[in-house]
Amino acid sequence: MGARVFRICALLLALLACGQPLVPRHLAGLSRSKLLTGRPAVELLRQMHQGRFQPPSAVVAEYGNGRLTLYLALFKSPAEAKAALEAMTEAMAHSRSFSPPRPQRDEPQRFLTVGPGGHHLFWRSENKVYWLAGEPERVFAAAGELPAPPPGVWL
């Protein structure tokens, strides 16, 4: 019985080790330099949005000592993530800090805006909302390395 439990535990650990991390160690040719997860990441997003955006879970990763930042908001379902992205996009259309979000020609489910922190590209994939901020070439390169938005125009 003990050997069987050991094998099951070893198999589960191996499966967990093979899982994809939420944020990569390297993105757009840059190494991850900071990582914020759980409540602190959710609180940062809440503060950045004056309390209007608070996902159930979040991860914030900085790459290249601030040259690129990935904000990842995780929701309970794709529908919740879609609703959050729609509300955010609508609010940004009237923002004084950011340019109105524009759908990308080749990826109409990804939106580009310019504001504090440089260029920003954001989208939804499954139950996650991805937001990249930084230098334009890094932002677009990083977007190509992350999970893609669902096909079609949905906003």
pLDDT tens digit at each of 155 positions of the chain: 555 544 443 433 333 334 445 899 999 999 999 999 999 999 999 998 888 788 999 999 999 999 999 999 999 999 999 999 999 899 888 888 899 999 999 889 999 999 998 999 999 999 999 999 999 999 999 999 999 998 764 44
What lies within 8 Å, CB to CB, of 8 at 6+ separation is none
CATH of the domain at 61: 3.40.1000.20
Question: What domain range is 125 assigned to?
Answer: 26-145
Give the pair of three-digit tokens for residue 97: 């800090």
Does residue 9 lie within any of the structural domains?
A: no
pLDDT confidence of residue 127: 96
Residue 130 resides in a domain: yes
pLDDT at 11: 38
Give the CA dihedral 65, 68, 74, 78, nearest 10 degrees: -170
